[in-house]
Structure 1
Amino acid sequence: MLAYIARRLIAGIILALLVTYITFLLLSTSFEDVAMTILGPAATPETTAALVAARGWDRPVIVQYVDWLVHAVQGDFGVSVYTSLPVGPSVVQRLLVTLSVIVPALLLTVVLSTFLGVWAASRGGVVDRIAQGISLIGYIVPGLLLAIGLVVVFAVQLKWLPATGYTPPAEDVGAWLRSITIPVIVLTIGGVANMAAQVRGRMIDELRHDYVRTLRTRGISSGAIVIRHALRNAASPALTVMSLEFIQMFGGALIIENVFALPGYGSFAFNASLQGDIPVIMGVAAFGVILVTVINLLTDLANGWLNPKARVQ
């Protein structure tokens, strides 16, 4: 098991190094443009070159990257070019906003998808068609249209929930719950549409195996077979789907944050890209790849626990 964890950690570290280096390499082609943006109308070739030299952007790219990496592993991601605020705390603050929306949505997605998938696979017939119809709604209705519809109903007409904005839970838990309710619903509906079909298909395959028929001949109830045996065996691929769903939600955070004016990770990264704020872009890339690596590692460990064969693959 330790060797399995070590292999996954090494793979995650290599991935993080590759992503951050490629990001830095791509950013290095725009150092002069960023310097000109900072200087504004007063930019001249001389002042631009002076600022590039002052920032150390005229050094070889690999030297700059190693220097950034040495500081990053010590928790120092530099300061924003435009706000002069430390990058690390700024990214963490925005990341917590995004996770406060994604994590509840993912938990609801897992619960509802598991229920619908198991329900459809074990009952079949009309129940199966109803469950598939519910999942189909998530595919047919675009997330943006769904978000607008929910805002119109619950924020504009009923005035139960705020249309935009975000309240940190440390200030007011009730206001925080109201501010994330509509975004969470939008993400959950889309997530259930993707995940419920996967759970249903895997459960149908499991229920067709010979061991299920053997358990039934021994008088074990259908509920026990489904919950204790088939669902456990189907959980391993479902965990992989769940990790992919998390990454998809995380990647799509920008749209949700722009629609609901949430000060999250996606909008922070987008604004930094528009401004050419290189330290912030590098910090965003580093935290993003670390988060994805941790999620994949936890998923692999859970799969290894559920399915020992996965540890030797």
Structure 2
Amino acid sequence: MLRYTLVKLVTAAILVAVVSTLTFFMLYGANSDPVTTMLGETATAEQIAAREAELGLDRPVGEQFASWVTAALHGDLGTSWSNRQPVAETLAARVPVTLGLAILAIIVSAVIGIALGVAAARFRGWVDVLLQVVVIVGFALPAFWFATLLSTTFGLQLGWFPALGYIKPSESIGGWLSTVTLPVLALAAGVAAAIAQQVRNSVIDVERRDFVRALTSRGIGSRRILLAHTLRNAAPAALTVISVQFIGLLGGAIIVENIFALPGLGALAIDATTLGDVPVVMGVMLVTVLIVVVVNLALDLIQGVINPKARVR
């Protein structure tokens, strides 16, 4: 297990380094004239040159990258070009919103998806047919449309939940839950459908194996077999689809956050991109990659504990 963990850690570190490097050169190297974007077409050559010197853009891109890496390793992600605030401080205020939303959504998706998948695999018949309908609907519903529907119906019309805004958990746990309930449901719908389908297929596959039939012939109860053996053997496939769906969930959070006016990474990324604020965009990309890598690393380690065979790959 130690070797497996070390390999996963090294792989994660390499992935972060590669993605960060590519993103930096795409943003700083390919963006040929970011200062003109910020100052406008009416800016004079002297103003542009002065602003480039102030931002350090007059240096070779390789030198800029070396400086950024050195600073990033010390927790300094630079300064926003638009509001002159430290990027790290801005991200520190935004990350908990998006991360809390994503984690809560993936938990809700996993609970609903596993329950539906197991029910469909065990009972089959109309339950299985109903799951297939749910899966199709879940895949077909665009997150932005479903989020708008939830906000309009349960926020504006019924008034059960706030349609807009965000309350921090430190201010009120109940208030926080009320402001994230609709966004979480909007994000969880499609993800739960994908998890349910994968769990259903995995459970059916495991139940057809010889060892399950042997356990059944020995008189062991079906519930015990399900909890102690079937789900454990079906878990790796479920964890894989959860890790994949989490990546897409973060992308969906960008849209959903804007619909519900949540102060997360989504709104920050859109505003920074519109303003051409490259340091903030770079910071958002780095943090997003770190979140994805850490979550996938955690799921890989859990899978290694549940399924020892995974550790030999």
Give the superposition deviation at 1:233.
0.5
What's the counterpart of residue 90 of structure 1? Answer: 90
What's the counterpart of residue 62 of structure 2? Answer: 62
What's the counterpart of residue 139 of structure 1? Answer: 139
Alpha-carbon distance between aligned partners in 1 of 2:147 and 2:27, rounded to the nearest angstrom: 34
Structure 1, 303-312 or 126-135: larger mean CA deviation: 126-135
Give the superposition deviation at 1:216.
0.7
What's the counterpart of residue 257 of structure 2? Answer: 257
Task: Give the conservation status (yes or no) of the 8 Å contact 1:94–1:265.
Answer: yes
Structure 1, 124-133 or 279-288: larger mean CA deviation: 124-133
In angstroms, what is the RMSD of aligned CA positions? 1.7
Alpha-carbon distance between aligned partners in 2 of 1:290 and 1:51, rounded to the nearest angstrom: 31
Structure 1, 133-142 or 88-97: larger mean CA deviation: 133-142
2:33 match: secondary structure: helix
Task: Give the conservation status (yes or no) of the 8 Å contact 2:28–2:278.
Answer: no
Alpha-carbon distance between aligned partners in 1 of 2:254 and 2:165, rounded to the nearest angstrom: 14
Give the superposition deviation at 1:54.
2.9
Give the superposition deviation at 1:82.
1.2
What's the counterpart of residue 200 of structure 1? Answer: 200
Matched, 1:177 2:210: no
Give the superposition deviation at 1:156.
2.1
What's the counterpart of residue 18 of structure 1? Answer: 18
What's the counterpart of residue 109 of structure 2? Answer: 109
Task: Give the conservation status (yes or no) of the 8 Å contact 1:31–1:52.
Answer: no
Alpha-carbon distance between aligned partners in 1 of 2:99 and 2:214, rounded to the nearest angstrom: 44
Matched, 1:239 2:239: yes
Alpha-carbon distance between aligned partners in 2 of 1:154 and 1:243, rounded to the nearest angstrom: 30
1:252 match: secondary structure: helix
Would the alpha carbon gap of residues 59 and 255 (structure 1) be closer, same or farther in structure 2, given more than 3 Å must change? same
Superposition pairs of residues 46-61 of structure 1, within 5 angstroms: 46-61=46-61
Matched, 1:186 2:181: no
Matching residue's letter, 1:291: I
Alpha-carbon distance between aligned partners in 2 of 1:13 and 1:136, rounded to the nearest angstrom: 37
Matching residue's letter, 2:187: L
Alpha-carbon distance between aligned partners in 2 of 1:12 and 1:141, rounded to the nearest angstrom: 33
Deviations 1:199-249 (A, max 9, x none): 000111000000011001100011111111010011111111111121111
TM-score, reference length from structure 1: 0.94
Matching residue's letter, 1:247: I
Task: Give the conservation status (yes or no) of the 8 Å contact 1:32–1:49.
Answer: no
Task: Give the conservation status (yes or no) of the 8 Å contact 1:31–1:57.
Answer: no
Would the alpha carbon gap of residues 139 and 39 (structure 1) be closer, same or farther in structure 2, given more than 3 Å must change? closer
Alpha-carbon distance between aligned partners in 2 of 1:176 and 1:189, rounded to the nearest angstrom: 20
Alpha-carbon distance between aligned partners in 2 of 1:300 and 1:174, rounded to the nearest angstrom: 33
Alpha-carbon distance between aligned partners in 1 of 2:50 and 2:154, rounded to the nearest angstrom: 54
2:288 match: secondary structure: helix
Alpha-carbon distance between aligned partners in 2 of 1:60 and 1:162, rounded to the nearest angstrom: 49
Give the superposition deviation at 1:75.
0.7
Structure 1, 168-177 or 29-38: larger mean CA deviation: 29-38
Give the superposition deviation at 1:128.
1.6
Structure 1, 88-97 or 27-36: larger mean CA deviation: 27-36
Would the alpha carbon gap of residues 96 and 25 (structure 1) be closer, same or farther in structure 2, given more than 3 Å must change? same
4+ residue segments displaced more than 4 Å: none
Matched, 1:220 2:220: yes
- Give unpaired runs (5+ residues) of structure 2: none
Give the superposition deviation at 1:41.
5.9
What's the counterpart of residue 299 of structure 1? Answer: 299
- Give unpaired runs (5+ residues) of structure 1: none
2:237 match: secondary structure: helix
Identity across matched positions, percent? 43
What's the counterpart of residue 166 of structure 1? Answer: 166
2:77 match: secondary structure: coil
Deviations 1:17-73 (A, max 9, x none): 111111111122466532123334652223212321332212222221111011101
Task: Give the conservation status (yes or no) of the 8 Å contact 2:166–2:179.
Answer: yes
What's the counterpart of residue 35 of structure 1? Answer: 35
Give the superposition deviation at 1:14.
1.4
Matching residue's letter, 1:143: A
